[in-house]
Structure 1
Amino acid sequence: MDYVLVHGAFYGGWSWQPVADALRALGHDVHVVAQLPSGGADPARLGDLAADVAHVRALVDGVGREVVLTGHSYGGMVVAELADHPRVRHSVFLAAFRPKRGQTLLDIRSPHPVEWVESREDGTLHVTADESIAREVLAADLDEPVFAAVHGRGGAQAAVSYTRPSSGPEHTHPVIYVVCERDKAIFPADQEKMADGADHVVRLDAPHLVPLTHPREVAELLAGVR
């Protein structure tokens, strides 16, 4: 089976590396999106949701075989746009935003204050510089030194990527939603709402950055998709 892994906001494909390594060890081909256009270090070059979708669509097209398309967090917004792609065999939303037609990320995010995200005048969003707050929200399971390294690799996210509405194409393949029950970035109650209508719902006892905190469990779950 081929897998295409789409990362979330503020991070890159490196956040999927432990899962990708585990899947490859199980004999699968894995294609990791290195960096979505909406994220990166240069604010002047950041794209929006449409640019992200075009980037991932080109990757899926290039695989040449059916794939399990998996999105974590913001990556779910991208995966949702490829719901009718002929080479996508399954869509997997991992603690991810799953919009309906016409919804933006801002429409479906939790109404709670988002104190761990900072907005800047250049049109970018960033994870707070306060490591203790970020770790508590995103990955409390990681030891402080380990999370410090993760935190240091974080980058900017284009604010405009949160305001582009989903085109909401109809799914032509099964959908799996994975709820992370200790998530403090996208609250489990909100994930349960977005999981409504999925063909299969899985629940993990994990925080938001589950590809880094529980890579073996995620890899085994994905490897079981047929």
Structure 2
Amino acid sequence: MTKLHVTRRRLLRGATVVGLAGASASGVIEAAHAQAARKTFVFVSGAFCGGWIWRRVTDRLEQGGHKVFAPSLTGLADRSHLLSKDVNLDTHIADVVNLIKWESLENVCLVAWSLAGYVGSGALESIGDRVSSVVWLDAFIPADGQRAADTAAEPVRKGIQAAIEKGEAGVRGSAKYPPAVVAERDRVFAESKVTPHPVGAYLQPIKVTGALQKVAKKTYVRLPKFPMPPFDKALAECKSDKSWATFELPDVGHMAMLDAPDRLSELILQAA
């Protein structure tokens, strides 16, 4: 059975977590009904990916009667036709902010994965009053003035530099994903879906004043199978802050929504 490391028990109020390693879709739905009425989720994808990557999780939550949004950011996935040099971090922040405003969403659980830690942090500066909980899944927690290019892994930094030198609008990801990113059974599927990430989103410094820390319920989930020092640093900081609940799923790849959708769905429900 997979070992789940839990540093705080706050998320377990009102629900009993049984067999996270083997939770079924029906178990996720039952947990949803047991905890509360309908909830609202907004999922934000990381680099090279779009809303498609959340499908296995969003299907489970929607089956439980919850309202779920998983937009693709401008220039990515089904919106890859909008890729241009004008797309930057502000563009992606506006994608999330405008979705929440135009859909008149309240009491949102905002879920940010990987690079989307920048996007989510920036969005909260405008719509923090509409967000009641956040889940940062293997995600960056940027400081004011930081650029995604500054915290990216070395291969991505090289890709950014190559895109700049060639005058390209997008940064290309890895040609092949290792097991630390996604399980072999889903590797070809994931590789067929990824698209170049707007280089401008990496180069623009973020402007934050601490809205993320003001959210009432905050959860950080680390997937240590994927080596990434900034995520380790974020986890350590969250562990030392009593306002955060922290979890680790040591056997799951970076694309946890593909590797373990049942466990991740239940965990997100607990955190909302």
Q: TM-score range by the shorter chain?
A: 0.7 to 0.9
- State the alpha-carbon separation in 1 of the partners of residues 46 and 189 from structure 2: 17
Name the one with the larger strand percent: 1
Per the alignment, residue 249 of structure 2 pairs with 204
Per the alignment, residue 204 of structure 2 pairs with 164
2:145 corresponds to 1:99 = no
2:255 corresponds to 1:213 = no
Cα offset, 1:182, TM superposition: 0.4
Which amino acid counterpart does residue 65 of structure 2 have in structure 1? G
- Give 1 or 2 for the bigger CA radius of gyration: 2
TM-score, normalization by structure 1: 0.86
Per the alignment, residue 5 of structure 2 pairs with none
Name the one with the larger helix percent: 2
Per the alignment, residue 100 of structure 2 pairs with 60
Q: Per-residue displacement from partner, 1:192-224 (whole Å, max 9, x unpaired)?
A: 212314511111121111111111111101111
Which amino acid counterpart does residue 122 of structure 2 have in structure 1? E
Specify the SS of the correspondent of 2:123: coil
Per the alignment, residue 37 of structure 1 pairs with 74
Cα offset, 1:83, TM superposition: 3.0
Per the alignment, residue 70 of structure 1 pairs with 111
- State the alpha-carbon separation in 2 of the partners of residues 98 and 45 from structure 1: 25
Which amino acid counterpart does residue 148 of structure 1 have in structure 2? V
Per the alignment, residue 51 of structure 1 pairs with 91
For structure 1, the 5+ residue unaligned runs are none
* More displaced stretch, 40-49 vs 69-78: 40-49
Q: Per-residue displacement from partner, 1:5-25 (whole Å, max 9, x unpaired)?
A: 011111110000001011122
- State the alpha-carbon separation in 2 of the partners of residues 142 and 223 from structure 1: 27
Cα offset, 1:117, TM superposition: 7.0
Q: Per-residue displacement from partner, 1:80-131 (whole Å, max 9, x unpaired)?
A: 1133421011121111111011111122334xx32797443213211233x3
CA contact (8 A) 2:218 2:271 kept: no
| Corresponding residue to 2:178 among 135, 139, 164 | 135
What does residue range 180-199 of structure 1 map to in structure 2 within 5 Å?
A: 180-184=223-227, 187=228, 189-195=229-235, 196-197=237-238, 199=244
- The alignment-based identity, stated in percent, is 22
Specify the SS of the correspondent of 2:220: strand
Count, aligned residues: 214
- State the alpha-carbon separation in 2 of the partners of residues 180 and 78 from structure 1: 20
2:191 corresponds to 1:151 = yes
CA contact (8 A) 1:38 1:51 kept: no
Q: Label 1:210 to 1:46 Cα distance change in 2 as closer, same or farther (>3 A).
A: farther
- State the alpha-carbon separation in 1 of the partners of residues 253 and 180 from structure 2: 8
| Corresponding residue to 1:5 among 16, 37, 43 | 43
For structure 2, the 5+ residue unaligned runs are 1-38
CA contact (8 A) 1:92 1:177 kept: yes
Q: Per-residue displacement from partner, 1:32-67 (whole Å, max 9, x unpaired)?
A: 11x211432454366111000011001112243210
Cα offset, 1:135, TM superposition: 3.1
